Structure 1
Amino acid sequence: MYKNKTITVISHVLVWLTLFCLPYLLSSGEEQEMNRVIAHFWIPLFFSAIIFYFNFFVLVDRYLFPKKTVQFILLNIIIIAFFLFLKEYIEDNYFQYILKKRRANTERTEPPFKIAMYIQLLSYLAPLFFSVALKSTKRWVKTETERKEAANFKLKSELQHLHYQLQPHFFFNSLNNIYSLVDISPDQAKSSIHSLSKLMRYMLYETNLEVVPLSKEIDFLKKYIDLMKLRVSDKTTVSYSFPIKETGIQIAPLLFISLIENAFKHGVSATKPSTIDINMTCDDATVLFSVENHNFPKKTDDKSGSGIGLQNLEKRLELLYSDKFNFKTILKDDRFLVTLEVETN
């Protein structure tokens, strides 16, 4: 911020120095009259600087932006009129030599007084309009920056809300699965609780970052699948395939867990054979994840789970990856296929 202010001050100084030197630059090699330069260039330029900075620092903020347009225009009319008459007064009283020489030079045709005043008026309107334009641009940039910061804060807040929403949902479903094992196999229930504690540790302490290594996410998914396999019968076959080598890909945490949860919720039957096939491949920075399973529609009176997982996933994908993802679901006969492709770069 300090550096930007310094650059701004230096820029203003250079601009005004250039303007003050402009008469010399435009009439290089010609005879210069200091009094004429002062009267016709430096004094009007000094007044222009006052108009510019008075509007830039005071009038635009106090009157124009609060929509007190009439007061803003009247004040500028008074200021410009004052400087117009002040310039004429200074020339008449302190630069008489120029006036005498002007009258003595009969060959030179001077513009009428009204035209001269009109030209001076335009010269004072220029810094006025420039100050308004510069101040408006500065305000727009500030407003746009604040808007983007607010949108970014809203995005982070919404993502955090979805993240916290997912954790109890995951925990609730996992506890339901373990509860079903307590009477059937107490040893498996104990093992499941131990596995769940590891999964929850990952969710609580390692998923607060915007992105995590894909290898950690894969390890989490494998542990969850192994935990879920404990509660299914021999009639269900679960297979999965993940990249073995380190990919170096960083990805938002907990993107795929809802798809696997959904497969175990709707793809398993206690009486019929069923399969769940989970597959993940990587191509450069693109991750392709698919889950295919049998489809056993949930009964209307079955209130287990909240159905929040897939809704949560779609919202997170829209917020995090916008147009960099492709999410599809296909239901054909008794098979359900879901694919998720994410570009992580």
Structure 2
Amino acid sequence: MRKAISKLYHIPFWFAYHYLWWVVAMGNPWKAAHSILFSPYAVKFAFYVVLQAVAVYFNLYYLIPEYLEKGRLKSYIGYLGITLLATALAIVSGYYVSAWLAHQSVETLFGRGANCFFYFFGEAMPSTLASTTLAMSIKLTKNWIRTEQRQQLLEKEKLQTELQFLKYQFNPHFLFNSINSIFFLIHKNPDAASSSLAKFSELLRHHLYECNDELVPLDREIAYLHNFIALEKLRQNAGVTVITEIPDELPPGASIAPFILMTFVENAFKHVSKENDQNNRIEIRLQLETTMLEFEISNSSSPLPTRQAVHYGGIGLKNVQRRLDLMYPGRHDLAIRHHDSLFQVNLRIELTAPHALIAAQLSFQ
């Protein structure tokens, strides 16, 4: 209902659009206005305005989302053709209604001989096609402008995110603790130290070289998470139990925006409880069905840190929410729940392949 009310400002546009056509046809704006307001032609004019507007919005808000955007091109063309034909025939009936209300025959009122039905249809069909084409052009232009604006915001957000992660996540505290942990392992367990150093190297490489695109392969991002979790478990020692349920095999074509998942993982390790008399734990679960990714992460937490993580955003909860809105508009669902002893995040994202991102952003709203 609200959407329909928000489009009321379109009514003057359609009146003006059809009035201009009448001015072109009659060659006189005053004569065109008089014909619309004070003659039987007003009924014909109303049929054109109302029925073509209905056809336009039926195409924009039903046929395009249900068929064209879902790749069902043949069905879309077929239903669009039926819509145009039905609209043109309905507009033709307006000629006969005008004549009936004026108590005249259509031949007399419109100055046409026999078989004038085909003449009326010859006027209504091209006009309906022109209105539909114009509306689609306007919609495409608006979506292109909106996409460009979103792309600029996305680039800005991406840069800010990269700077935030470099500043907060790979801060001296994280770096020194990880290096110190590996240093102590060198004497206790050289093999574990070598493995940890390799993970640390992969972590830095991903940050510096592999996350500069809008989308990165999902398997690479998951490998990055595994390396980060392994290093955090090394730093946390035995005080925190970490449970991960992530599939070993992922679709090779699946991609995701970098650091979307990482924000929540880092936040969990940062705010996990460290009480001696409490079961301190982090649980990370990920599932992927076709293109729908479901990510759930929870951590035990003390009341104050939990509230701080929500209200102050950890290192970037607000930032990642904004990036989700920009990268996956209408294609994600994020729920953050916090209790005195539990902080939980549930995220669902409809993933896209890299080549499909632009097409998705150009889709009709």
TM-score category by the smaller chain? Answer: 0.5 to 0.7
Partner of 2:173: 177
Partner of 1:234: 238
Partner of 1:22: none
Matched, 1:292 2:298: yes
Instruction: Judge which range, 153-162 or 201-210, deviates more.
Output: 201-210
Partner of 1:331: 338
Aligned-partner Cα distance in 1 for 2:218–2:180? 35
Residues 249 and 277 (structure 1), Cα distance of their counterparts in 2 relative to 1, 3 Å cut: farther
Deviations 1:258-305 (A, max 9, x none): 110110111142756521121212233322211121113339999xx9
Partner of 1:322: 329
2:145 to 150, 175, 184: 150
Aligned-partner Cα distance in 1 for 2:265–2:213? 22
2:159 to 157, 164, 172: 164
Deviations 1:194-247 (A, max 9, x none): 755533432444334443332111101111112222332432222322111233
Aligned-partner Cα distance in 2 for 1:197–1:278? 23
Residues 200 and 159 (structure 1), Cα distance of their counterparts in 2 relative to 1, 3 Å cut: farther
Per-residue deviation at 1:184?
Answer: 5.9
Partner of 1:40: none
Partner of 2:255: 251
Residue pair 2:181, 2:234 contacting (<8 A) in 1 also: no
Matches within 5 A, 1:39-78: 76-77=27-28
Partner of 1:222: 226
Partner of 1:275: 281
Unaligned runs of 5+ in 1: 1-63, 81-114, 121-125
Residues 178 and 193 (structure 1), Cα distance of their counterparts in 2 relative to 1, 3 Å cut: farther
**How many residues are matched?**
244
Partner of 2:80: none
Aligned-partner Cα distance in 2 for 1:309–1:158? 17
Letter in 1 for 2:27: N
Per-residue deviation at 1:77?
Answer: 3.9
Aligned-partner Cα distance in 1 for 2:129–2:308? 65
Partner of 1:263: 268
Per-residue deviation at 1:151?
Answer: 1.1
Aligned-partner Cα distance in 2 for 1:326–1:130? 43
2:216 to 212, 215, 220: 212
Partner of 2:38: none
Percent identity, aligned pairs only?
23
**Stretches of 4+ aligned residues off by more than 6 angstroms:** 72-75, 126-137, 188-194, 299-302
1:231 is paired with a residue whose SS is helix
Unaligned runs of 5+ in 2: 1-15, 32-106, 113-120, 187-192, 353-365
Partner of 2:351: 344
Letter in 1 for 2:260: L
Residue pair 2:217, 2:254 contacting (<8 A) in 1 also: yes
TM-score by length of 2: 0.51
Residue pair 2:306, 2:339 contacting (<8 A) in 1 also: no
Deviations 1:302-325 (A, max 9, x none): 9xx974521122222233333433
Residues 196 and 168 (structure 1), Cα distance of their counterparts in 2 relative to 1, 3 Å cut: farther
Letter in 2 for 1:337: Q
Residues 74 and 152 (structure 1), Cα distance of their counterparts in 2 relative to 1, 3 Å cut: closer
Residue pair 1:294, 1:335 contacting (<8 A) in 2 also: yes
Residue pair 2:283, 2:297 contacting (<8 A) in 1 also: yes
Letter in 1 for 2:282: I
Aligned-partner Cα distance in 1 for 2:206–2:126? 56
TM-score by length of 1: 0.54
Residue pair 1:188, 1:230 contacting (<8 A) in 2 also: no
Higher Cα radius of gyration: 1
Aligned-partner Cα distance in 2 for 1:135–1:283? 42
Residue pair 2:306, 2:338 contacting (<8 A) in 1 also: no
Residues 301 and 316 (structure 1), Cα distance of their counterparts in 2 relative to 1, 3 Å cut: closer
Residue pair 1:199, 1:220 contacting (<8 A) in 2 also: yes
Partner of 2:316: 309
Aligned-partner Cα distance in 2 for 1:130–1:77? 24
